[in-house]
Amino acid sequence: MIPKKSLGQNFLINESIAEKIVSSANIKNANVLEIGPGKGILTKYLAEHAGKVLAIEVDPHIAKFCDSKIKQWGAEKKIEIIKGDVLKINLPKLVEENNFHNYKVVANLPYYITSKIIRLLLETKYPQSEMILMVQKEVGERICALDGKESLLSISVKFYAEPELLFEVSRENFKPAPEVDSAVIRIKRKKLIPDVNTKRFFSLVRAGFSAKRKILVNNLRNLGHPRAKLSVIFRKAGLEPGVRAERLGVEEWVRLYSILEERN
């Protein structure tokens, strides 16, 4: 089977890292949703600890291979391979049909759609309690904003959850080896998410990050707010007039949003 680069098929080949990822998930009989089981290196360890594992795989050849492995392990009752594209599948229906309301996500994600998958999982009708994800190292660092610079991605994650970088995994642990190193992150769902209209809130955040070089106030003018009005709002929100979007945390975005909404 030749790995398909277009599907992000860089398979993990180090069993001890697979075990470390699974033990970080602290599964204890929880249900687990895996995305992209590939040849099943994580799936095997997940099944040892999980109540049930549902694993969504888009490549039919890999899915078939994984199915044959599951038979070899005698784990047919524990693991079900769902053949399909995670971005197109009806996730709420899958959760309902499998009585999966309380579940965790564990995955070595295909890197070409990492952000889309994370967003889908954060916004889905029945969210998971936590995700343990292997992602490209730079993406993991950006999500956690380790350099103190927030981004649209980090704010999108931190709105719903608390991200944490767990450990790094170097590229030689994959076959074929990718051109970048990886990191394993935990995204733990918050019990309470801010009480806002998410569509309008994220339009504001997106607008704030629209032009990287511009200061926040200039980016927000694209939303049709006059500068004088924005100056008053910034003062009320306790924000410096020259602040950049990357300096605001979720709480400050919510404050800014609430003041803007009041005045609309």
Q: Which residues bind ligand SAM (CB under 6 A)?
A: 7-12, 35-38, 41-42, 56-59, 62, 85-87, 108, 110, 113
> Which amino acid, 21?
I
Pick the closer one to ligand SAM by CB: 6 or 264: 6
Residue 75 in 3-state DSSP? coil
187 near 176, Cβ under 8 Å?
Answer: no
Q: How far is the CB of 262 from ligand SAM (least distance, A)?
A: 41
Q: How far is the CB of 157 from ligand SAM (least distance, A)?
A: 20
Pick the closer one to ligand SAM by CB: 31 or 173: 173
133 near 54, Cβ under 8 Å?
Answer: no
Pick the closer one to ligand SAM by CB: 184 or 216: 184
Pick the closer one to ligand SAM by CB: 62 or 207: 62
What whole-number distance in Å separates Cα of residue 243 and Cα of residue 153? 19
What whole-number distance in Å separates Cα of residue 134 and Cα of residue 62? 19
Q: How far is the CB of 223 from ligand SAM (least distance, A)?
A: 33
Pairing of the two strands 161-169 and 182-189: antiparallel
Q: Which position's Cβ is nearest ligand SAM?
A: 36
Q: How far is the CB of 218 from ligand SAM (least distance, A)?
A: 37
Pick the closer one to ligand SAM by CB: 53 or 254: 53
What whole-number distance in Å separates Cα of residue 133 and Cα of residue 231? 40
Q: How far is the CB of 206 from ligand SAM (least distance, A)?
A: 24
121 near 131, Cβ under 8 Å?
Answer: yes
At residue 56, what are phi and psi to the nearest 5 degrees? -95, 120
